[in-house]
A and B are shown apart, each in its own frame.
Chain A
Amino acid sequence: MSNALPQTNMMLFLFQDNRIHTSKYSILTFLPINLFEQFQRVANAYFLCLLILQLIPEISSLTWFTTIVPLVLVITMTAVKDATDDYFRHKSDNQVNNRQSEVLIDSKLQNEKWMNVKVGDIIKLENNQFVAADLLLLSSSEPHGLCYVETAELDGETNLKVRHALSVTSELGADINRLARFDGIVVCEVPNNKLDKFMGILSWKDSKHSLNNEKIILRGCILRNTSWCFGMVIFAGPDTKLMQNSGKTKFKRTSIDRLMNTLVLWIFGFLICLGIILAIGNSIWESQIGDQFRTFLFWNEGEKSSVFSGFLTFWSYIIILNTVVPISLYVSVEVIRLGHSYFINWDRKMYYSRKATPAEARTTTLSEELGQIEYIFSDKTGTLTQNIMTFRRCSINGRIYGEVPDDLDQKTEITQKKEPVDFSVKSQVDREFQFFDHNLMESIKMGDPKVHEFLRVLALCHTVMSEENSAGELIYQVQSPDEGALVTAARNFGFIFKSRTPETITIEELGTLVTYQLLAFLDFNNTRKRMSVIVRNPEGQIKLYSKGADTILFEKLHPSNEVLLSLTSDHLSEFAGEGLRTLAIAYRDLDDKYFKEWHKMVEDANAATEERDERIAGLYEEIERDLMLLGATAVEDKLQEGVMETVASLSLANIKIWVLTGDKQETAINIGYACNMLTDDMNDVFVIAGNNAVEVREELRKAKENLSGQNRNVSNGHVVCEKKQQLELDSIVEETVTGDYALIINGHSLAHALESDVKNDLLELACMCKTVVCCRVTPLQKAQVVELVKKYRNAVTLAIGDGANDVSMIKSAHIGVGISGQEGLQAVLASDYSFAQFRYLQRLLLVHGRWSYFRMCKFLCYFFYKNFAFTLVHFWFGFFCGFSAQTVYDQWFITLFNIVYTSLPVLAMGIFDQDVSDQNSMDCPQLYEPGQLNLLFNKRKFFICVLHGIYTSIALFFIPYGAFYNVAGEDGQHIADYQSFAVTMATSLVIVVSVQIRRWQKAQKKARPPSSQRPRTRRSSSRRSGYAFAHQEGYGELITSGKNMRTKNPPPTSGLEKTHYNSTSWIENLCKKTTETVSSFSQDKTVKL
C-alpha cells in the first residue's frame, strides 16, 4: 500500500501512527492511575481499610493521623519515584517522536517529525541515522541496493548486518519522481516480535516479489556505511518489532518475601485472636462492671448492649494492634534492598576495567536471595569461556598441522600480551614462525593444491564483512567469532579476504588478487549446522565450498572419501579431546547446467509464499551432497579469567553448578574438566545419550542403581550433604550420597527425560551428582531444566549467561545474571544482575549475597521483635482499662514510633552491618550455607522473635505498673496519672528496643565467632568432618595439577587451608541443629577418626 493509492487511505485507519508511548501517565491521569496502582498492593490496601475503620468514631481508638501520616508518606514517596521515572520516559518519548526524517510528500522530500510518519510513507535515510519505523528497503546508494545496518539497539549485537533491496525496486535509485509514483502493495504478516523473521509479498507492476527479513530495516537500527537509502514504512509506532519486543518483564519475588507474606497472614490471625479475646473481655466488663459504672461512664449513642460494644471493641483493637505489621516494614525492606543493590553497583572489585563495565544490579528487589542460592545454571560460551577464538590446529587431507610443542602455557601468555594482534600481513607471518608448526607454511609454499583449496574455503565461505579503516588496515566485522578466527587464519597464511559485494568476493591469494563470482549463498542455521557458498572462479569453474558440523557434513560426503573420513574423524576426536571447537571443510565441483537448473528452482521456491522455507531447505539439501572432504579446523575456546577458582569456591559453598550449553557433548565435557567440575577421581560419570524415551529411562534407571550400589561399597568417599529440610514436597526421597558423581545428558535425551514420568528419575539422579552437564540443549530446554529444579527441589536457582539463547533461562530462574559479553546485550537486558566476568559471581554471592541475607534476616527478626514489644503492651493494658481500647502511648508516639523513633538504627544495621569481612567470606565459602538452609530467618526464628517481643512487652508494662502503683512524686503530687505512665513506658520502650539492636547482633556473633579467631584455636584439633576433608582434597588436586597456576594471582593456598579448619565445627553445629543428617555425619566422622 503506497501513498499513491487513494483507496488505501481508508485502510490507514487500521494502522498505528508512528508516535510511541512508553510513558504510563499524563498530567491528568497521573493521580488516579498511580493511586489505583499503588492501592493494588495488599499492604497499601490494608492500610487504607484501617484508615476507613479509624474514621468511624465509635471504633476509632487511634486518631486518623496515626495511619494516614505513614501511609501518605509512603504513597508520596512512591508517587514521586514513579513520576520522575515517567518524566524521563516522557522526555525520551518526546525526543524520539520529534526526531526529524525526510519523507517523500507530494513528490518532494520534506522534513517531518517521526511521530507524523505513516504507514506507506517513503522515507529517505542517511548514513548514521536511526531508522524511524520498520521499512521495506527500496533502494540505496550502494550497488545492488545493498545497505548496512547496526542492530545494537535491537539485539545488542554491534556487528553490521547487510540488507539488500529487491533488484526491481533498487532500480528506482534516488529518482524522486519515480519513487513518488511507486504504487506497490505489500501483503505481510501481522505485527509480531520476531526480530529475525519476516514474510511478505510485494505486488508491483503485475508481478509478485517475495519479501524476507533481508529486505526489511527495523526501527532502532542505525544505517552504516551507506550514504543514503529509501524505504517504505510497513509497520509504524507500536507495531514495529522494536516496540513489540519491549514486553513487560516478569515480576520476581524472593523467598523471604513469600515467607514474610505467610508470616504477615499468621500475624493477622494472631491479631484477630487477640481482638476476640479483648472483645469478649469488653463484653463481660461492660455487663459486669461498666453497667454499675453508668453514672460516670455513659453509653455511647447506639451502643446500648454489651455484645455490640464488644463487637466495636474488636475493631478498635484491630486498629490499635495493627502496628505489629506496620507499613514501614515494607518500606524499610525496600530501602534496605535498594541500599544493597547500590553497594553492588559501587563495588570496585566487580568492576572490569578492560571493558569499563561496573557490575549492575538491574533489579533492586532480590538482593537477599543472592545469599540463598543452591543451584547455578551456567551457560558455557561467553560465560565460562571468553568467546575469544584462537585458531589452534587443522587437519588437511589427513595430515595434522599445528601440533604445538609442549610450552602451551608460555604461548598463551605471549598471545595475551600482544593483544590486540597486529594483522598487517608481514609482521603476522614473521610472528607465526616463532610458535607454530612450520609444516603448514611449507606446504603452502610448495603449492599443495589441497592446502590451497582448504585455505580458499576459509577465505571464501563465511559471512565476514571487510572494511578498511582510516589507517588503511583491513578490519573484519564478524557475526561469529569462530568465523573470525578462521578467516583471520586464512589471511595470515596468505589467503586474504579483501572485500565483497553481493555478487563477488575478492581475495588475495599469495599476493595475487582473485575475484570470485558469488552465485549462491546457502546460509547457516541451527538445523542445517553448515553453510556453503557457490562461486565461479576466474577460470569459469563453479565450486561449492562448504563448512559445517562434522556429524552433519560427514553424511554428505562422496563415498570415495571413506579413508580420509576415518582419518579426519580420528583427528577430530583428538581435537575435541583438547577442548577445541571443530568444523569440517569440504567442497564440490559443479557443472554449469546442473547449477543453472538448481538455481532456477531456488528462484521459484523463493517466490512462493507457502512452505517456502521447507522447499528451499530441500533444495539446499540436494546440492550439498557428494562433497569432497578437505579437512577440519580446530579453534580454541578460551576460558574466562578465574573460572576455575570461582567454580571451586562456589562448590565449597555447597552450590551446585550445572552447565547448560548448546555446544556438543565432547566440548562441554572438556570445558567441564578444564573448570575442574569434572575430575579424574570422580567415582563415576554417567552419560545419558538415549535417542528415545525408553532408552533414556533405562539409562537413568541403570545410573541410579549403579549409584546406590556403589554407594554401599564405598565407605571412605566424600559426603555430599543434601538439603533435607524442604523435603515435604513430592515423593523424592533423597539419599545421602557418598562419592562424587557427574551426569552428562544431551539435548535429545533431555527432551525425553523432561517428560513427566521420567522427570523425577532425572531430577533425583541429577541432584545426587556433583556436576551436571547438559549439552546440545535449546534455549527452551534450558528454561525447562531451571523450572524443573525450581519446582521440585524448592531450591533457589541462579542462571547466568551472556547470549540471546540464555534469555529464557535467565528469566525463569529466581535470579538471572547477564554477562555483558560479546554475543550481545539481550541477556543483560533480561537479567537481574549483570557484570563483565564470570568470576565476579563469587563476590556477588559469597560477599554481597551473604551480607544481604544476613542483614535482611537480622532486620526482620529485630523488626518483628520491636513491633511485638511495642504493640502488645496495649493488650496487657486492656485488662486494666476495661478493655476499652484505650492506647497506652500518646497518639503521636504511635504515629512516629516506626518512622522516627526507631527507624534509623535498624535501617543502618540493615544496610551496613557486616558480620565478617568480605575477605573472610571469600576465603571461607562455607559461611554461605546458613542462607541455603534458611537458618537465619525461618518460622522458628520468627517465633523466637515473637516470644521475645511478648516477654519484653510484659516487662515493659508490668514493671511500670508496679512502680506506678500508688506512687507519688518527690513533691507529694501524684504522678500515677495516665500521661506520665504513657511517657515512662514509651521512653523505656525506645531505650529497650534500641539496646536490643545490639543484642541481635550479639546473638549473631555468638552463633558464629569471627573466623579469624578460629584457625589458631582449632589447628591442634585432629577432629575433622569428612565434609571439610573432601573440600581440602579437591583443592589440593587443583593446586597440584597446576591448572590454577595460569592465572596471574593464584589463591593464597595457606589461607584456604585455614578456612577448612575454621568451618569444621561450625558446619557441624549447623547440621546438628537443623537437619536429620546427624547420624550419617557422625558415622562418617568415626570412619575418619
Chain B
Amino acid sequence: MAMNYNAKDEVDGGPPCAPGGTAKTRRPDNTAFKQQRLPAWQPILTAGTVLPIFFIIGLIFIPIGIGIFVTSNNIREIEGNVFMYYGLSNFYQNHRRYVKSRDDSQLNGDSSALLNPSKECEPYRRNEDKPIAPCGAIANSMFNDTLELFLIGNDSYPVPITLKKKGIAWWTDKNVKFRNPPGGDNLEERFKGTTKPVNWLKPVYMLDSDPDNNGFINEDFIVWMRTAALPTFRKLYRLIERKSDLHPTLPAGRYSLNITYNYPVHYFDGRKRMILSTISWMGGKNPFLGIAYIAVGSISFLLGVVLLVINHKYRNSSNTADITI
C-alpha cells in the first residue's frame, strides 16, 4: 500500500507549486556568465611549450645585449654633436625635504605665487621681507660655476669653442612648465618686489642677456630644477655643434677648461666633473643594459638546456605532465 502523504503539497496547493508561472521567474537565467561557462584559455605547461620559450628568450636577448654593449662602448669618438655635462656626486637632489621645496605655480609665471610663494619653500620663501623668486631649496642651490672650453692651437693661442646654451632643456619644461611672470618688456620690472635666492650672486632676471633665455625660462635653471633621481648625477651643460661634415667637432689637440669656481662641494665630500660625450641611437654611454640583457639571455638559455636534458632523461620513466612540477 502506498499512500504518500506530503503535507507541503497540500497546504501550498495554490500557485507556488504550479510548475509554470512563478517557477520560471525564480529559475536562474541560463547565461554563460551566470552559469560560469565564460570562455577561457588555460595554458598547459609541458616540456614542449616551455623549452622553446626559454631558448627563444635566450636567442633574442643575447644579441640585443651584445648590440647595446658594443654600441655603448663605442661612444667615444668626438664626432657629430658633442654634449658637455657637469656632474656632481654625493649631492642628494632626491632628498624629500629638497624635492618638495619648490613652487611650481611660481615657476609657471603665476603673479600671485610670485609675490606669495608656497609654504613648501620654507625656509627659502622670504628674505628680508621680500618673497624669493625663484623660491625653495632647489633653486637656492643652483649650480653656478661657469665652464669655458678652449682649443690650444699650434701657436699656443687658445681659441674658445662655441658652447650653445639653448636646446639643453626638455621642450615641455621650457615651453609649458616654466614661464616668466606677465608684464611689460622689461624683465626686471616683471620681477619687481621679489628678491634673489640667498645663495645666488645675481637675481633671476640677470641670468642671461638673451631675453628668450632669461628669468625662469633660463635653460640652465630649468635643467637644474629637474631634480636627479640618484645622488650621483650629471646634467647637460652645453652643446657643441658640429660646424661642417668635413671637420670633426672637436679635432684632436690640447684643450683647456676654464672654470669660474662659485659652487662649493668639498665640505660635503662631493665632487664636480665635466664630461664630454657623444650619443648613439640608444642614448649616452651605459654598459649596464647590455650586460643585463646578455645575462638574462644566457641564464634563460642555460635553463633551457638543463630542462631539455632533464626532459630527455626522465621522459620514459614519467609522464610529461609531471616534469613541470
Q: A residues touching B (Cβ–Cβ < 8 Å)?
A: 61, 158-159, 289-290, 292-293, 295-298, 300-301, 316, 343, 345-348, 351, 353-358, 388-392, 402, 411-412, 414-415, 419-421, 428, 432, 435-437, 469, 475-478, 481, 484-485, 488-489, 492, 822, 880-882, 884-886, 912, 914, 918, 959, 961-982, 998, 1002, 1005-1007, 1009-1010, 1013-1014, 1017-1018, 1065, 1069
Contact = CB atoms under 8 A, between A and B. Distances in A.
B228 A968 contact: no
Contacts of B34: 343, 346
A901 B285 CA distance: 33
A1009 B321 contact: yes
Given A389-B5, A972-B239, A1005-B45, 4 more contacts: A297-B95, A348-B35, A421-B2, A965-B288
Interface residues of B, number: 91
B10 interface: yes
20 contacts: A61-B96, A355-B16, A356-B23, A388-B5, A402-B1, A420-B9, A421-B4, A432-B1, A437-B1, A489-B3, A884-B97, A886-B95, A959-B292, A962-B292, A966-B232, A975-B283, A976-B234, A978-B93, A1005-B43, A1005-B45
A476 B13 CA distance: 12
A500 to B, nearest CB: 17
B94 A978 contact: yes
Nearest to B223: A974
A411 B2 contact: yes
Nearest to B100: A886
List of 5 A-B pairs having minimum Cβ-Cβ separation, nearest first: A968-B284, A436-B1, A981-B229, A962-B288, A884-B96
B8 A296 contact: no
B1 A976 contact: no
Contacts of A353: 19, 23, 27
B85 interface: yes
B115 interface: no
Contact of A1006 (B4, B285, B292, B325): B325
Interface stretch (B148-156, B204-212, B274-282, B305-313): B274-282
A982 B280 CA distance: 24
Given A297-B97, A485-B5, A348 B137 contact: no
B286 interface: yes
Contact of A970 (B92, B199, B223, B281): B281
Interface string B39-79: 01011110000000000000000000000000000000000
B116 interface: no
A992 B168 CA distance: 33
Contacts of B284: 966-969, 972
Given A356-B16, A421-B4, A970 B229 contact: no
B44 to A, nearest CB: 6
Given A884-B97, A886-B96, A1006 B230 contact: no
A886 B90 CA distance: 17
Contacts of B280: 970
Given A390-B2, A391-B1, A880-B230, A966 B97 contact: no
With most chain B CB atoms within 10 A of its CB, the pick from A345, A969, A1014 is A969
A1015 B228 CA distance: 61
B5 A297 contact: no
Contacts of A884: 92, 94-98
A391 B99 CA distance: 88
A477 B36 contact: no
A884 B83 CA distance: 32
A973 B230 contact: no
Contacts of A348: 27-28, 30, 35
Contacts of A1065: 322
B7 A481 contact: yes
B35 A965 contact: no
B269 interface: yes
Interface in B184-235: 199, 223, 226-235
A969 B23 contact: no
B302 to A, nearest CB: 18
B135 interface: no
A961 B97 contact: no
Contacts of B289: 962-963
A966 to B, nearest CB: 6
With most chain A CB atoms within 10 A of its CB, the pick from B3, B29, B322 is B3
Given A884-B97, A1006-B324, A347 B35 contact: yes
B1 A978 contact: no
With most chain B CB atoms within 10 A of its CB, the pick from A301, A355, A976, A998 is A976
B236 A391 contact: no
Contacts of A297: 92, 95, 97-98, 137
Contacts of A159: 7, 11
Contacts of B233: 966, 974, 976
Contacts of B118: none
B124 interface: yes
A43 B132 CA distance: 44
Contact of A356 (B22, B30, B96): B22
A392 B239 CA distance: 106
Interface in B100-149: 122-124, 137, 140-141
Given A158-B12, A298-B137, A492-B3, A886 B94 contact: yes
With most chain B CB atoms within 10 A of its CB, the pick from A300, A964, A1014 is A964
A389 B228 CA distance: 84
Contacts of A998: 43
Contact of B10 (A432, A436, A476, A918): A476
Contact of B40 (A412, A914, A963): A914
B7 A358 contact: no
A420 B4 contact: yes
B316 interface: no
With most chain B CB atoms within 10 A of its CB, the pick from A297, A316, A390 is A297
Interface string B234-272: 111001000000000000000000000000100111000
B169 interface: yes
A918 B1 CA distance: 41
Given A886-B99, A972-B81, A392 B27 contact: no
A477 B285 CA distance: 93
A968 B3 contact: no
With most chain B CB atoms within 10 A of its CB, the pick from A475, A886, A973 is A973
Given A298-B124, A476-B10, A881-B94, A292 B269 contact: yes
Contacts of A965: 230, 232, 286, 288
Contacts of B264: 295
B35 A477 contact: no
Given A965-B230, A966-B286, A1005-B45, A346 B29 contact: yes
A977 B92 CA distance: 12
